[in-house]
Amino acid sequence: MDSAREQLQGRLDAAGFWQVWQRFDGDEKGYIEEKELDAFFHHVLTTLGTDAAVVEENVWRLKQRIMAPQDVSRAGRVQMKQLATMFLSEDENFLLLFRQETPLDSSVEFMQIWRKYDADSSGFISAVELRNFLRDLFLHHKKAVPEAKLDEYTGTMMKIFDKNKDGRLDLNDLARILALQENFLLQFKMDACSTEERKRDFEKIFAHYDVSKTGALEGPEVDGFVKDMMELVQPSISGADLDKFREILLRHCDVNKDGKIQKSELALCLGLKINP
Ligand SMILES: [Ca+2]
Ligand SMILES: [Ca+2]
Ligand SMILES: [Ca+2]
Ligand SMILES: [Ca+2]
């Protein structure tokens, strides 16, 4: 192991790494260009208080390491994972990268998590609630984390993802933590063409959100549908928006007032006639 790496590992936490990373990957693509590496390492070393006299030498060493044959990036790109591994401890690394390893299936799954950890239904995830999420996350990945470390990691995640610094996470902050994939509804043309096509799309859409296969959308299934619908017209919505739109949707669609949206109710709502 080269000495530059030995010196560096463990001295930067995930929040510190993220701060530098964001300067280079502002829109969170997950990689930077190879030609940005010099500047990136420069920033890291300066952040760590490396003596100016040896910065250049260390930048060169770090670059040698990342460009080693097995690490060579495709299309001149260097992935966040490659760089995070250089600087962070295993757990800190995990905090930044677990979302890439285990992406969510759908907004329904996302909303299940949101409802579960927003335990007091405040429309926000507080630090205490985030801590519970992280504890379960580490447990789920069979990692034992002492309580003190859990506090530290909660602080780290808040530093990274609590954008407006009010000490709590909104819906779109959690969506970033969990790296929710592309909106399912984006694949459909809403100005749909033939009736047949619209019916086929409708079947696909309903099946996607009716995860429990009950023939009705209930609980987080409604939430997931509402979230994706709203985000077709608005880039990201808050927890309060979601609750408001959920209520509006139910008011319009839930004809039999059972708190669920049956398939026939949704079809009616979307102006479609389907055979039951
Ligand atoms: Ca809450
Ligand atoms: Ca916040
Ligand atoms: Ca269902
Ligand atoms: Ca209903």
pLDDT for res 251: 96
Give the closest ligand to the alpha carbon of residue 128.
1
Q: Which residues of the chain have pLDDT under 70?
A: 1-10, 68-74, 190-192, 273-276
Across 28-66, b (16+ Cβ under 10 Å) vs e yields eeebbebebbeebbbebbeebebeeeebeebbebbeeeb
Ligand nearest to the CA of residue 265, numbered in listed order: 4
Give the C-alpha separation, 170 to 181, whole Å: 18
Q: Which ligand is nearest to the CA of 206?
A: 3
Cβ(243)–Cβ(123) below 8 Å = yes
Distance 158 CA to ligand 2 centre (A): 8
pLDDT at residue 4, rounded to an integer: 53
How high is the pLDDT of residue 13? 86
In the chain, which ranges are E strands? 31-33, 77-79, 125-126, 168-169, 216-217, 261-262
CA 223 to ligand 4 center in whole angstroms: 15
| Rounded Cα gap, residues 168 and 239, in angstroms | 12
Which ligand has the minimum distance to the alpha carbon of residue 214?
3
Cα of 78 to ligand 3 centre, how many Å?
A: 42
For residue 221, report the distance from its CA to the centre of ligand 4, in Å. Answer: 13
HSE value, Cβ hemisphere, 13 Å, CA-based, for 247: 5
Q: How far is the CA of 244 from the centre of ligand 4 (A)?
A: 18
CA–centroid distance, 264 to ligand 4, in Å, is 9
Q: What is the pLDDT of residue 207?
A: 97
Give the ligand at the shortest distance from the Cα of 225. 3
195 Cα: distance to centroid of ligand 2 (angstroms): 44
In the block, tokens 């409604």 appear at 222
In sequence order, the 6+-apart residues with CB closer than 8 A to the CB of 193 are none
Cα-to-centroid distance, 114 and ligand 1 (Å): 9
Query: Which tokens is 245 given?
Result: 């739109």
pLDDT at residue number 50? 86
Distance (angstroms) between ligand 2 centre and the Cα of 171 equals: 9
Identity of the amino acid at 57: E
Q: Could you tell me if 118 and 77 are in contact, meaning their C-beta atoms sit under 8 angstroms apart? A: no
pLDDT at 7: 60
Give the model's pLDDT for residue 212: 96
Task: Please give the model's pTM, rounded to 2 decimal places.
Answer: 0.83
Ligand 4 ion: residues within 5 Å (CB): 254, 256, 258, 260, 262
**Can you tell me whether residue 17 is helix, strand or coil?**
helix
Measure the CA–CA gap between 268 and 62, rounded to whole angstroms. Answer: 61
So what's the pLDDT on residue 209? Answer: 97
pLDDT at 176: 86
